[in-house]
Amino acid sequence: MHVCDPSVIKGSFTNPADGQRYIYAMYYSGVDNAPGNNNQTGLAFSNDKINWADYPSPVISPLNPAVAQGNYGNGQPATINTDGRSNLLVFTTDLGGPQGIAGFGDLYVRRTADGVNFDPPIRIPNEATDGTTVNPNSDFAYDSAKGDVYVITGLPGRNCQKVTCKDPARNPDRETYQLGLFKMPLKALLNGTPAKWTPVGYLNSDVTGFYLNHSPGFQRDPYGNLTSFLPNVTVFFSGGDPYPGTWQIATATETNTSERAPLKRTLGPNGHWVTTGYTDPGYAFETNIGSLFLLTKPGTSKLMSCVVGSDHFLSHDPSCEGQTPLGQTGYVYDNQQTGTHPIYRCNAGGHDHFVSTDSGCEGQTTEGLLGYALN
């Protein structure tokens, strides 16, 4: 027996197995075979979060038990309490549903009024307005004041056949390097139509400095709400290199106070590093090149942060020209707008990329126009 992925929620529950009242319910993934197929979602109750009374049978089974014998099954729960008592929404991954349904993936949500017995599953939309896809093993939280559901999800990892990876024996990387934060009205999520998630922010190697960023979870109140923390949204995640021994629990906060960030040019022991996000210790600030939008706007294009060896550079190519992607660092206008200026990709000595507002790249080699940054 193997159990993982616990999701603990506060409320008021009765365990039918012993007739006792409990304050906490914990949903978890459980499997009884070595390949790890046919996972099911189990349930336990507690009053102190230390001692648990297990419910004797799974409360959510795979949609297609026959198919689940050869795949993951059902699990990876995330839970929201909508009334402070026992009315819950339990989100799970299930690989047994019909595939290829436009606008939907492998995430489902079920209502329960008592924590044990569930309504039929509702398939969750998986597309965002910017074309990003919400994926399995996501965490969910609720803003009870506005009625919005938030999701933090892992985005596709590096394709090591197209880009440079630290562990090329694996393809893709062992875990993802980028996470997406989105929101959607609860009513839209539950109506069974392919509504679109609204992007709130992105977390990636360019922001954190970790090669991998994965397994995210929200800071929520005991009932699964974000309301008391908003407008800030704090996420816990695992960061590190491809090897699990390097992973550590880290945290990041989306403040939602500005739609833009300064593009900083720094100089350190290995040359220049230009980013809206993280730089290693030892890199000193040189100048601001302008500001970039953090989310897409009409008429803008994404700038990727990339690295080859110790040379950091920006590119419009999602695959970073075959080098290592660190994630998007922001968005620039494609054409000149009021309140913008051109920025250029430059190269000093053939091994030190930087960005400049000077079309002549301050006497170095000009590699092209990146776009138009905000003044």
Could you please report the per-residue DSSP string of 86-142?
A: S-EEEEEEETTSPS--TTEEEEEEEEESSSSSBPPPEEEE-BBTTS-B--SS-EEEE
Q: Could you say which of 2.115.10.20, 3.40.50.10860, 3.40.50.920, 3.30.499.10 is the CATH number of the domain covering 2-254?
A: 2.115.10.20
- Average pLDDT per block of 10 residues along the chain, 375 residues long: 93 97 98 88 98 97 92 95 97 91 92 98 96 95 97 95 91 91 97 94 97 97 97 97 96 88 97 97 97 97 97 98 98 98 97 98 98 98
Distance CA(357)–CA(375), nearest Å, equals 11
Work out the burial of residue 324: count CB atoms within 10 Å of its CB; fewer than 13 is exposed, 13-18 middle, 19 or more buried.
buried
Distance CA(27)–CA(75), nearest Å, equals 9
Residue 223: the pLDDT is: 98
Residue 283: the pLDDT is: 97
Distance CA(251)–CA(237), nearest Å, equals 6
Cβ–Cβ under 8 Å, residues 276 and 329: yes
Residue spans per domain, the chain: 2-254, 260-374
Residue 12: the pLDDT is: 98
This prediction's pTM: 0.95
Residue 334: the pLDDT is: 98
